[in-house]
Amino acid sequence: MDRRQRKTREAIFRAFTALLREERCDRITVQQIIDRADIGRTTFYSHFDTKDALLKSLCADIFDHVFSAELDRESAHDFSHDHGTRARITHILCHLQEHLDALNGILSGESGAVFMSFFREKLAELFAPSIPSGTGVPDDYLLNHLVCSFCETVRWWTKHTQYAPEEVSAFFFGTMPGWRENDA
Amino acid sequence: MDRRQRKTREAIFRAFTALLREERCDRITVQQIIDRADIGRTTFYSHFDTKDALLKSLCADIFDHVFSAELDRESAHDFSHDHGTRARITHILCHLQEHLDALNGILSGESGAVFMSFFREKLAELFAPSIPSGTGVPDDYLLNHLVCSFCETVRWWTKHTQYAPEEVSAFFFGTMPGWRENDA
DNA sequence: ATCCTGCTGAACATGGTGTTCGGTATCGTG
DNA sequence: CACGATACCGAACACCATGTTCAGCAGGAT
């Protein structure tokens, strides 16, 4: 990709995440992004069709980073495939930590739904194989509960950034019935 | 209140909830509401300053109903004051059931955040006195977990309306550690 | 050097928002 | 019934954000 393109794209992302830290997503105008990124109006629209598309790209970027790094790690260490949901979770939290301040902006206000729907989808895949059985609750409900609890844990974390990933992971598992410390 | 006002207000609510069932809230325009409610543009704005205000009014109406009915019941029966969080929860679910289809519209898409923030506030008050202790997790986190889990339970319910309030209540408590069936 | 591609900014069309205003219909009350 | 008050009407308007167009300029690739 052309260096100019890369620079512009980065400038847009930087401007957008900076604005997200200050204001609710739906209050941010394209003009503000353009001004902050110091680019031309036409340029913005040549990169992203709409502000929504920008938000989705941003989310996709974060997820690519967070989840692909997670998968890499998994295939690198070879005692993988089932060395515990907990280790995975903790690692996802580690990667998310790098984006915590941007996430705070993304999650507050109305834009949260976009991120959350992405996030839910990814997590559902991750959790589906390891839902505990024999709880007397529909699997459907239980999976939703796990996914949502984790999402909300992350949301909570963006407001209480003093905790380390391992602690947050411990909190999460502390409220999850039927899961062992290391469910191998 | 003037009968004309009441009729108009109802027509607006009806139109809005109907539209919410078909489309994401942020895609709905004031013009659509006006057309559907068959009222004049000026009339709409004499009732609500913005579409956001309408949404908030709608939420407030629902909550007034759900939570005040809950409190009435509590003060009517006099063996109350602490006859269990579970009974309260089940009754809230009963009242919510009457609004399930409207809720489905409100909760899908971006508007969910508005409703949820109302809901969270109310629930936090309700849950705060009964959070279990000695779980090794910050009270702060635990309260958030309870509130969010219940919210997400309701959201899930709007997609799985075949369950009765008592069942949903049972699912919810089935995933909550440290709570007895009847914590008196 | 020159071609290509991305950036620029001003101008424009579009569409939603919220307001204004003169006029009409309906309400509650005496 | 009559009459004031009040709610409704709808067309027109100003405003603002969005997304597009276009002619020209600047930076990169070969």
Which parts of chain A sit beneath pLDDT 70?
A: 69-83, 109-110, 178-184
Is the per-residue pLDDT at B15 higher than 80? yes
Residue labelled with tokens 């974060």: A62
Q: What is the pLDDT of residues A156-174, one digit of tens each?
A: 999 999 999 999 999 999 9
If one compares B128 and B73, the residue with the highest pLDDT of the two is B128
First to last CA, chain A: 43
Asked if A148 and B152 come within 8 Å (Cβ–Cβ), the reply is yes
CA A81 to mean position of chain CA atoms: 22
Is the per-residue pLDDT at B138 higher than 90? yes
What's the pLDDT score for residue A171? 95
Cβ atoms A141, B171 nearer than 8 A: yes
Residues at the strand D interface (Cβ < 7 Å): A 2-4, 29-31, 41-42, 45, 49-51; B 2, 4-5, 7-8, 38-43, 46-47
DSSP B161: T
A69 Cβ neighbours under 8 A, 6+ residues apart: A91, A95
d(CA B73, CA B19): 33
pTM for the whole thing? 0.84
Fold of B3-50: Arc Repressor Mutant, subunit A (1.10.10)
Q: Please give the mean pLDDT across all residues of chain B.
A: 86
Å from A45 (CA) to D21 (C1')?
A: 12
Is the per-residue pLDDT at B181 higher than 60? no
List the single range of B26-30, B73-77, B151-155 with lowest mean pLDDT.
Answer: B73-77
Residue of B nearest to A138 (CA): B171
What's the pLDDT score for residue B184? 37
Is the per-residue pLDDT at B76 higher than 90? no
Tokens of A124: 């559902």
What's the pLDDT score for residue B46? 97
Q: What is the pLDDT of residues B114-131, one digit of tens each?
A: 888 889 998 998 888 888
Asked if B152 and A152 come within 8 Å (Cβ–Cβ), the reply is yes
Q: How many CB atoms lie within 10 A of CB A170?
A: 16
Where are the domains positioned within chain A? 3-50, 63-174
Average pLDDT over residues B44-69: 91
What's the pLDDT score for residue A178? 67
Q: What is the pLDDT of residues B78-108, one digit of tens each?
A: 444 445 778 889 999 999 998 888 888 788 7
